[in-house]
Amino acid sequence: MFDIGWTELLLIGIVALIVVGPKDLPGMFQAVGRFVGKARGMAREFSRAMNDAADQSGVSDLQKSFRSAANPMKSAMDEVRKTTEGVARDLDKAARPPLDPERQAAADKIREKSAEMANARRAAEAEAEAKRAADVPSDADDKTAEDKA
């Protein structure tokens, strides 16, 4: 909001220390803190009241229509996205016919085999990573080797 950095705050603090004095400085900062808190609360309340008034007067509907008129391609894509999401949701909700027992057994077998292969791959990757970590000397080992030479 004000774009004040640390150096500016430090300068303000030093000037306040010189002008107000060290005894009254904490009380002044406390009063400034209360004022800032009240100002933020008032700004938040004003913003909320303006948003409520805009919602009640229908400005948000006008804003949506202006946006759709300004960018018809985006609004068309949004409508397509909403429609496809609805269709996908409806398809997911549709009941799938149960598989016959032979196909169900085959599907279960495939899932088990896939899980076994995935676990084996993860184990092999972990083993390779451990081997790679053991083969690569650390920086501390390199420095001690250079110091000895």
Q: Residues 126, 132: contact at Cβ < 8 Å?
A: no
| Residue listed under structure tokens 């000895």 | 148
Q: What is the pTM of this model?
A: 0.36
Q: How does the average pLDDT of the chain come out, rounded? A: 83
Question: How far is C-alpha 114 from the geometric centre of its chain's CA atoms?
Answer: 33
The Cα angle at residue 32 between residues 26 and 36, in degrees rounded to 5: 145
Instruction: Give per-residue pLDDT as tens, 38-81.
Output: 999 999 999 999 888 888 887 777 777 777 777 777 777 888 88
Distances (CA, A) of 69 to 52, 76, 80, 104, 142: 24, 10, 16, 52, 66
Instruction: Give per-residue pLDDT as tens, 102-126.
Output: 888 898 999 999 999 999 999 999 9
d(CA 87, CA 11): 62
pLDDT confidence band for 138 (50 / 70 / 90): low
DSSP string, 29-51: HHHHHHHHHHHHHHHHHHHHHHH
